[in-house]
Amino acid sequence: MAQPGGRRGPWPVWQNRDLVPIPGIQDESLSEDSSTEGSSSSSSSSRRRNQTAKKRVRKWRLKFAVTKRLKKELLPPRQHQLHGARRKRRNFLVVPKLLDAEEIRLIHDLWHHPSVEEIKDRKKTLQYRHIAYRMELPLRAHGQHLYAKLIDTMAWADAFLWQKLPRNEFAYPEVEYIVYEGKEGLPGSIEPHVDNHSAVTIVVLLSDPSEFKGGVNCFASPDSEDLPARVVSLDVGDAVLFRGEKLRHWITPVTEGRRVILQIELSRV
């Protein structure tokens, strides 16, 4: 699949790694992650040499204050379905029609923002066949109401079920636009896995189920990893929320068509 192409809106041009201010994002919403490209040495002499010989790489990361967000009145979605288990970490929630057609269209449009880049940081041991794009900055800057709605839903779910977001600290939203495509006999897929450091994960289906075959969400049994998985078929705009770092999850292979999701992980680190 081609990289995202031309712009569809009056967006300023900025990149994820720019050090200049990002439109619509206040300084308190960002943290700066600095590292030296091409070296992992930690000695002071090595750092001095690298500062002159190597390029400094700085990245912006979105952050939000968990305690400040939880002081708000977090209202539950209009409807939700709890898939319970004896151990809280195996609970998950389905929220039908969390996003409407206009909100889904905005996400598809923001995927074309020039800052959006393909992610190539998956673990080598993870078996998958999909393409993922990082897009938290354009969503936060140019879809603030939608961004707040998604984050508030995740904070509410955590307060309702798990209470695992780090109080008195920051969490780091990681937003991905993920495409699973089945073509030429090769299905889109991902094996059973957990999301490292994700206190809460939300997955929203952005494609109509008529556009693909397969791609059903699967979660480990509520009682034992050896028992049959729980299977959830989402409709367009539906969301599922779960403890990403604890609950094993995957999808059935996408054998035909194109399945697109928005995934947000609230990372602890």
On average, the pLDDT of the chain sits at 82
Q: How many CA atoms lie within 13 A of 125 on its CB side?
A: 3
pLDDT at position 27 is 54
pLDDT, greater one: 165 or 20: 165
Q: What percent of the chain has pLDDT over 90?
A: 56
pLDDT at position 92 is 97
The CATH code for residues 78-267 is 2.60.120.620
Does the pLDDT at position 4 exceed 50? no
Closest CA to 72 of 182, 173, 146, 154: 154
pLDDT, greater one: 67 or 219: 219
Element (H, E) at 101: helix 101-110
Measured CA angle at 68 (ends 155, 25), to 5 deg:
90
pLDDT digit string, tens, across residues 225-240:
778 899 999 999 999 9
81-97: burial string, b at 16+ Cβ within 10 Å, e else: eeeebeeeebbbbbbee
pLDDT band for position 145 (50/70/90)? very high
pLDDT at position 123 is 72
In the chain, the amino acid numbered 62 is: L
Q: What is the Cα gyration radius of the chain?
A: 19
Does the pLDDT at position 102 exceed 80? yes
Contacts of 68 (CB under 8 A, 6+ apart): none
pLDDT band for position 2 (50/70/90)? very low
How far is 239 from 217, CA to CA, in rounded Å?
A: 11
In the chain, the amino acid numbered 110 is: L
Residues of the chain with CATH 2.60.120.620: 78-267
Write down the pTM of the prediction: 0.81
pLDDT at position 65 is 80
In the chain, the amino acid numbered 166 is: P
Asked whether 199 and 243 are in contact (CB, 8 A), the reply is: yes
How far is 119 from 188, CA to CA, in rounded Å?
A: 16
> For residue 51, with 0-12 CB atoms within 10 Å meaning exposed, 13-18 middle and 19 or more buried, which class applies?
exposed
Does the pLDDT at position 132 exceed 70? yes
Does the pLDDT at position 20 exceed 60? no
pLDDT at position 28 is 58
Q: What is the three-class DSSP state of 69?
A: helix
Closest CA to 19 of 63, 61, 58, 64: 58
Backbone torsion region of residue 63, taken as left when φ is above 0, otherwise alpha when ψ lies between -120 and 50, otherwise beta: beta
How far is 263 from 124, CA to CA, in rounded Å?
A: 20
